[in-house]
Amino acid sequence: MAHRIVELESGSFSVRNERLGETMHSHIGPEIEAREIYIEQSELATRLQAPPLDSPLVIYDLGLGIAANALLALSCRRKLLETGVSSRAIHLVSFENELDGLRLAMDQAKQFGWMVGFDSELRTILAGDSCDQEGEKWELIEGDFHRAALSGLPTPELIYFDFYSPRVNTHLWSVDVFSRLYKVSRNPQATNLFTYSAATAVRSAMLLAGFHVGYGRSTQAKLETTIASTKLEALRYPLDLRWFEKLSRSDKPFSEEDLLKYNKAELLEKIRAAPQFNV
């Protein structure tokens, strides 16, 4: 079996990909991880209440996995409505190339409480159809993100970047992938990207793609996460020259994927010239 359900240190459950040798979530579990890194850190509830209320909030959900990020985003909006608060519509675009893990989790949904109430939506998505109801649209683009067509999709306001780690999926954490995202990140206010990884090579790839990059909040599992944005002023704690000095000394400043295509010295020079290091 390519996937199996595993119990984590916290007592919660996740899915392990045996082919890759990696579990989808850290020891704190999918619900807490999704809430801390993506839902709360992106201030989703606040964004949903912000004008213009007639403008849908578009989220790219990169690495659907067992749908924790997607379902908690939908739950966030539904909870606002339940309390009588007006909310923007939400448009989720999920990307995933292996759906067996999600199917397995659905078969054991009692171990994944945040799935409760979404059986119809999950089955629709897995059938290859789009969920489209009042105020909510959710679609799935299946296949390798490296080859996914983005040109016809709406501009994202938020990007939840949650693929398997750079250790097992190097090509999905490369300059090329972040450049593809940067090109479609044209939200007038800003497009903000959130991820669990704080790896130097990942942050370098984001900077080289054109994003401004900052320190993300700590979680119960990680000392730091990462936020990237199309606008520097959207970052509370941008990486500074101290980080660049750390980069210069790092034995892994860039991914192997990127070093096969680009010259290390030229990459360092390009990052040093990034606007956030010259303010």
Q: What pLDDT is stored for residue 279 in this prediction? A: 64
According to the model, what pLDDT value does residue 191 have? 98
Bridge partners, 22 (sequence order): 17
CATH architecture of the domain 28-277 equals: 3-Layer(aba) Sandwich (3.40)
Q: What is the token pair recorded at 23?
A: 């579990």
Where are any strands of DSSP class E within the chain?
Answer: 3-7, 13-17, 22-23, 57-62, 90-96, 131-133, 136-142, 158-161, 192-195, 212-216, 225-229
Q: Is 128 helix (H, G, I), strand (E, B) or coil?
A: coil
3-state helix, strand, coil in the chain (%, to 5): 40, 20, 40
pLDDT of residue 78: 97
Are 58 and 156 a contacting pair, CB within 8 Å?
A: yes
Residue 142: Cβ-neighbour burial (10 angstroms; 0-12, 13-18, 19+): middle
pLDDT number for residue 112: 93
pTM of the model: 0.96
Q: What's the pLDDT score for residue 109?
A: 83
Which residues, given as ranges, of the chain have pLDDT below 50? Answer: none
pLDDT of residue 261: 84
